[in-house]
Amino acid sequence: MSKSENAQLTSISKARTLEEIADFWDTHSLADHWDQTRKVEFEVRAKRRRRVTLLPEIYERIEAQARECGILPETLVNLWLVERLQEVE
């Protein structure tokens, strides 16, 4: 993108960094700038997640262990599964 094209894509906040953008929107409402917006379309390519059903008592134990480690239960389960898969491969 050339500088002239980039100049046409100025933001409402006129910010130059993500921090400046965040600071601006912390103190402003989009409702006050709605007439300066335009409709856009974009595609989101998110990886599909899978669910595994656990017995409530197993989940409670995992949740307690995760709390002790200071992480989410989902993170703990993923860590454990990676470890186990490495052991069996």
If we measure between CA atoms, which residue out of 76, 81, 52 comes closest to residue 64?
76
Q: How far apart are CA 64 and CA 69, in angstroms?
A: 9
Q: What's residue 7's pLDDT?
A: 43
Q: What's residue 10's pLDDT?
A: 57
> Residue 56 has which token pair?
């409530």
Chunk the chain into consecutive blocks of 10 residues (it has 89) and report each block's average pLDDT, rounded to whole numbers. Answer: 46 86 92 91 90 96 97 96 96
What DSSP character marks residue 70?
Answer: T
If we measure between CA atoms, which residue out of 89, 58, 69, 60 comes closest to residue 79?
69
